[in-house]
């Protein structure tokens, strides 16, 4: 059995820097036509010079692969002049609440103080990509942030707001409330709950932020993905960390899924009799919601076992040493 995906996109991915960038980026570029690159580096990508330098480093790292990095800026207060200079070079600006996740200490502390930049973004047609969590109890942080999405969607009705890596039933329900709101969802949040992370022995390689939630949340996410909800796109949030930062006290947040994402998604959709919807979920919805150009890159998978390596360099992938039911047959 074979299945072809045309122009697959990963609408949320971390490439890191330097040696890690050179290791990780080709693993996405091999099978994806493009990806939305996150800007929470040290220092963050928050000006044109740094953005173009990072984009150049990505192209160098993926040399030989047909892959387009869709660049983002780290949210801060930007002037009109700054946004006019950069708006055609980015797919959006990524907002992190201060301290919400990896390298986000320089994020937003008060939404009201960001309204000037929101208004400029709305006027210029620049997307707002949001890590939507409060600083409340960890299981409730995304649910509590829904009221902030509600405020943003009402106050800036022409601003395209992307709820990144949603993890709750409440976020799925919110998708249909406003025309200017879309979302991404990760591979791991379609598959696991908090039980898989800490229900037995802690599995540090499944620890991520936002954390995996309850069974009812996973089911709501999975149902929306399998139906290829038109406002929902695949965004892996694949987030590599070296082993010594995962298997330690103070475990870094992030699940590394880039090399196995398409294989696992194909298996998941096939098992749920929804394989016909996979194309929309990993490609067509993104093309529509982000006004992308369809790539000529096509990935054919075959239903044959694939043994997941124990490591890619010094990074442990999801399902390390496991066997998947689908393999990549060819990329054209």
* Prediction pTM value: 0.96
Please indicate whether residue 140 is annotated as part of the active site. Answer: no
What is each CA distance from 231 to 124, 155, 185, 279, in whole angstroms? 22, 20, 11, 14
The domain segmentation of the chain, as residue ranges, is 13-258
* pLDDT by 10s per residue, the chain, length 332: 999 999 999 999 999 999 999 999 999 999 999 999 999 999 999 999 999 999 999 999 999 899 999 999 999 999 999 999 999 999 999 999 887 777 767 778 788 889 999 999 999 999 999 999 999 999 999 999 999 999 999 999 999 999 999 999 999 999 999 999 999 999 999 999 999 999 999 999 999 999 999 999 999 999 999 999 999 999 999 999 999 999 999 999 999 999 999 999 999 999 999 999 999 999 999 999 999 999 999 999 999 999 999 999 999 999 999 999 999 999 99
Per CATH, the number for 13-258 is: 3.20.20.140
Among residues 10, 46, 217, 237, the one annotated as catalytic is 237
């Amino acid at each position: 059995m074979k299945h072809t995906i045309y122009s697959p996109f990963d609408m949320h991915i971390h490439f890191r820097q330097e040696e890690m960038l050179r290791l990780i980026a080709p693993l996405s570029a091999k099978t994806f036509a493009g990806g939305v690159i996150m800007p929470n580096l040290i220092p963050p990508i928050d000006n044109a010079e740094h953005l173009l330098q990072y984009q150049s480093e990505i192209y160098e790292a993926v040399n030989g692969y047909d892959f387009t990095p869709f660049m983002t800026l780290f949210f801060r207060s930007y002037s009109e002049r700054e946004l006019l200079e950069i708006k055609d070079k980015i797919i959006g600006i990524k907002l992190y609440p201060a301290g919400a996740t990896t390298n986000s200490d320089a994020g937003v502390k008060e939404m009201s103080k960001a309204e000037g930049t929101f208004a400029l973004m709305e006027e210029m047609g620049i997307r707002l990509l949001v890590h939507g969590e409060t600083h409340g109890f960890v299981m409730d942080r995304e649910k509590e942030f829904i009221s902030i999405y509600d405020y943003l969607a009402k106050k800036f009705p022409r601003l395209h707001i992307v709820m990144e890596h949603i993890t709750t039933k409440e976020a799925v329900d919110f998708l249909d409330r406003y025309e200017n709101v879309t979302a991404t969802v990760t591979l791991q949040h379609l598959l696991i709950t908090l039980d898989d992370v800490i229900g037995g022995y802690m599995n540090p390689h499944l620890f991520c932020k936002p954390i995996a939630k309850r069974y009812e949340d996973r089911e709501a996410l999975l149902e929306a993905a399998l139906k290829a909800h038109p406002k929902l796109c695949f965004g892996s949030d694949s987030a590599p960390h070296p082993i010594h930062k995962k298997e330690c006290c103070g475990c870094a947040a992030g699940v590394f899924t880039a090399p196995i994402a398409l294989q696992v998604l194909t298996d998941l959709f096939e098992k749920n009799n929804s394989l016909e919807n996979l194309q929309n979920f990993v490609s067509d919805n993104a093309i529509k919601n982000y006004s992308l150009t369809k790539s000529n890159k096509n990935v054919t998978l075959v239903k044959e076992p694939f043994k997941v390596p124990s490591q890619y360099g010094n990074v442990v992938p999801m399902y390390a040493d496991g066997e998947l039911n689908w393999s990549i047959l060819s990329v054209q």
